[in-house]
Amino acid sequence: MEQHRFSEHALSDWMKGEGPDSDIVISSRVRLARNLRHHPFPMLATSGQSQEVMEQLTSVAKSGQLDRIGRFETFILSDLNELERRVLVEKHLISPNLANESRGGAVVLSDNEAVSIMINEEDHLRIQCLYPGFQVQEAWSLADRIDNIFEEKIEYAFDEKFGYLTTCPTNVGTGIRASVMMHLPALVLTQQINRILSAITQVGLAVRGQYGEGSEALGNLFQISNQITLGQSEGEIIDNLYGVAKQIIEHERAARARLLSDSRLKIEDRIKRSYGILKYAAIMDSKEAAQRLSDVRLGVDLGLLKEVTPTVMNELIVMTQPGFLQQRFKEKMSPEKRDVRRAELIRMQLKGSN
């Protein structure tokens, strides 16, 4: 079976760079939702209509216009097996919704996987741009350039009053979803997180887990994104998210400083216990792995643990997910077997990092 490049490595090339505030902000993302004029939304489309939309959009992707951005490759979802689709989800390159879609679904990926263009997901077209660290404005700039390339070739469903028309009413208007993935262990440990998250929701932002809507915030990873897409410009939405995220970064830094000044020995003990368990455990479920990795990542960022690099921690966040784990070991596993293999993989990676 052909090994696709996206499943060869846990880290996408874009994640290997260090962006601003990358000790707290893991990544920044902007996603644009668009639909084609005179075509039914994907949920109402027949297989033939979905196929027609896919052919139109993939032809734009292959026309050479995207060469202004970089090199791209198109993957038809029906040509990928279940594990390959799951790896794409775990690397945040497609949504769980698209992974389960069998009618005309496709994804166009840039070589460094910073750009993911989803076709026939909830909407006909979803343009996603990812950057390391706190670079939400840069992600928006790139997404806008790609959007313009497609709009030169196809006609979008657009209304003068409501803006871009989308399957879900909450995306109507600009069709933009901007988000930052933040690691906030100190706010959790100092029990400030609920107050912070409550304040966030009151200013028009949403808080979700690592894999978006409906997912749990494992490993102290929180996705902060805009809720409003209508009545504000893209620039206003980006600026609002940027301003709030900047305040959260400051609160997390203050909480980390407080942990070091008030409870240094206690927090160092917690971090090194988690590191020891990760290095020697024979069984590790995904929930415990996420928490232990969060502790160790905090230790790395605070300078309390010199044995591991942030890159290794980023790799392990992806590599310990069920799909990538099974892809790595070339076998389909029961949950119990995954827990054994997960512990084995963590031991190997931490040993290699030393």
DSSP structure string for 60-123: HHTTTGGGGT--EEEEEGGGS-HHHHHHHHHTTSS-HHHHT--SS-EEEEETTSSEEEEESSSS
Q: Is 213 annotated as a binding residue?
A: yes
CB 72 within 8 A of CB 111: yes
Confidence of residue 214 (pLDDT cuts 50, 70, 90): very low
**Contacts of 272 by beta carbon, 8 Å cutoff, 6+ apart:** 299, 304, 305
Q: Is 214 annotated as a binding residue?
A: no
What long-range pairs does 106-109 form, CB within 8 A, spacing at least 24? Answer: 106/54, 106/57, 106/58, 106/74, 106/75, 106/76, 106/77, 107/74, 107/75, 107/77, 108/58, 108/61, 108/66, 108/72, 108/73, 108/74, 108/75, 109/6, 109/72, 109/73, 109/75
* pLDDT of the residue at 292: 96
Q: Which amino acid is at 239?
A: D
CA atoms within 13 Å, Cβ hemisphere of 216: 6
CB 295 within 8 A of CB 271: yes
pLDDT tens digit sequence for 226-248: 988 888 899 999 999 999 999 99
* pLDDT of the residue at 104: 84
Give the range among 16-25, 96-105, 329-338 with minimum mean pLDDT. Answer: 96-105
Q: Is 177 annotated as a binding residue?
A: yes
| 28: nearest Cα among 132, 174, 147 | 132
H or E element in which residue 206 lies? strand 205-208
pLDDT tens digit sequence for 175-199: 999 999 999 999 999 999 999 989 9
* pLDDT of the residue at 179: 95
Number of helices (H), then strands (E), belonging to the chain: the values are 11, 10
Q: Collapsing DSSP states into helix, strand and coil, what is residue 128? A: strand
CA distance 39 to 45: 8
* pLDDT of the residue at 216: 60
Q: What is the mean pLDDT of residues 51-59?
A: 94
Q: Is the dihedral of CA 188, 96, 126, 206 positive or negative?
A: negative
CA distance 233 to 228: 10
Q: Is 179 annotated as a binding residue?
A: yes
In Å, the largest CA–CA distance within the chain is: 64
CA distance 105 to 240: 33
Label residue 108 exposed, middle or buried (CB < 10 Å: 0-12, 13-18, 19+).
buried
Give the range among 88-92, 143-147, 251-255 with minimum mean pLDDT. Answer: 88-92
Residue located via tokens 């000790």: 23
Confidence of residue 1 (pLDDT cuts 50, 70, 90): very low
Q: Is 28 annotated as a binding residue?
A: yes
CA distance 64 to 53: 19
CA distance 141 to 111: 19
CB 66 within 8 A of CB 148: no
Q: Is 172 annotated as a binding residue?
A: no
Q: How crowded is residue 74: how many other Cβ atoms within 10 Å of its Cβ?
A: 16
Q: What is the mean pLDDT of residues 255-269?
A: 96
β partners of residue 28: 131, 180
Q: Is 85 annotated as a binding residue?
A: no
Q: What is the mean pLDDT of residues 264-277?
A: 97
Q: What is the mean pLDDT of residues 57-83?
A: 91
Q: Is 256 annotated as a binding residue?
A: no
Q: Is 338 annotated as a binding residue?
A: no
Calculate ∠ Cα 86-175-170, nearest 5°. Answer: 85
Q: Is 180 annotated as a binding residue?
A: yes
Q: How crowded is residue 3: how many other Cβ atoms within 10 Å of its Cβ?
A: 10
Q: What is the mean pLDDT of residues 288-308?
A: 94
* pLDDT of the residue at 90: 86
Q: Is 5 annotated as a binding residue?
A: no
State pTM to two decimals.
0.88
pLDDT tens digit sequence for 130-153: 999 999 999 999 999 999 999 999
Measured CA distances, 159 to 32, 125, 137, 163, 303 (Å): 16, 17, 26, 5, 53
Q: Is 349 annotated as a binding residue?
A: no
Q: Is 212 annotated as a binding residue?
A: yes
* pLDDT of the residue at 182: 95
Number of residues written out for the chain: 354
